[in-house]
Amino acid sequence: DVKVTQSSRYLVKRTGEKVFLECVQDMDHENMFWYRQDPGLGLRLIYFSYDVKMKEKGDIPEGYSVSREKKERFSLILESASTNQTSMYLCASSLYLGDNTEAFFGQGTRLTVV
Amino acid sequence: AQSVAQPEDQVNVAEGNPLTVKCTYSVSGNPYLFWYVQYPNRGLQFLLKYITGDNLVKGSYGFEAEFNKSQTSFHLKKPSALVSDSALYFCAVRDYNTNAGKSTFGDGTTLTVKP
């Protein structure tokens, strides 16, 4: 079974802090994604990566950056956390671009910025 | 552009009754369609998908969905609901001609099954 692991379930950070959310997948998937989930807004794509060191902006990239130095690891970075970034963050992976396979999700990180 | 609409924020059914969670989509090309379920404080789990072929797709936990191209719909169904089916359900679409790899998710529908 594919496993996508996010480093933290819950995080509390202060406004202005630099925040790192880590995600690791163990099935050699090419694609990795970061979403944020807010009530009534569904899942919104922040960034995705289709290969090592490759990244593309999703629908809401402002205030975020990402890093993918190794195939299995995809990091989301909040350069200067703000209270409007309080949310549930979900990492996902899928096999490769153009495929018809489903995405596999991590358990989520609930981030609170105070 | 691709989009998904889940017109109902909440669906309530009694245990043992059939359930339907609605989803409509819009793509410029041909769709891949997915349903995911999210239990409280968990990530999303895959339920089923439509790629091509038979319009009726069967998935995990007794769920099925019917692809209707003329109505651009992909409604999730189950003949007999269980209390344990109570969760948040997401429909997702991917246009494999123009948006390789990226899925667009609906806003989610909360299903509550009452004993």
* Each residue's pLDDT tens digit, A34-44: 999 998 888 99
* Closest-CA residue of chain B to A47: B102
pLDDT in tens, B67-107: 999 999 999 999 999 999 999 999 999 887 665 567 889 99
Cα distances (angstroms) measured from residue A72 to each of A21, A97, B58: 14, 16, 31
**Interface mutation target, options A4, A88, A100, chain B, most CBs of B under 10 Å:** A100
Residue B29: band (very low, low, confident or very high) from pLDDT cuts 50, 70, 90: confident
Residue with tokens 């995405």: A103
Q: What is the predicted pLDDT for the residue at A1?
A: 66
Our CA-based measurement puts residue A80 at a distance from the nearest CA of chain B, in whole angstroms, of 25
Which B residues in the span 31-70 are in contact with A, Cβ-Cβ below 8 Å? 32, 34, 36, 41-46, 49, 51
Write the secondary structure of A65-107 as one string of H (helix), E (strand) and C (coil): EEEEEECCEEEEEECCCCHHHCEEEEEEEECCCCCCCCCEECC
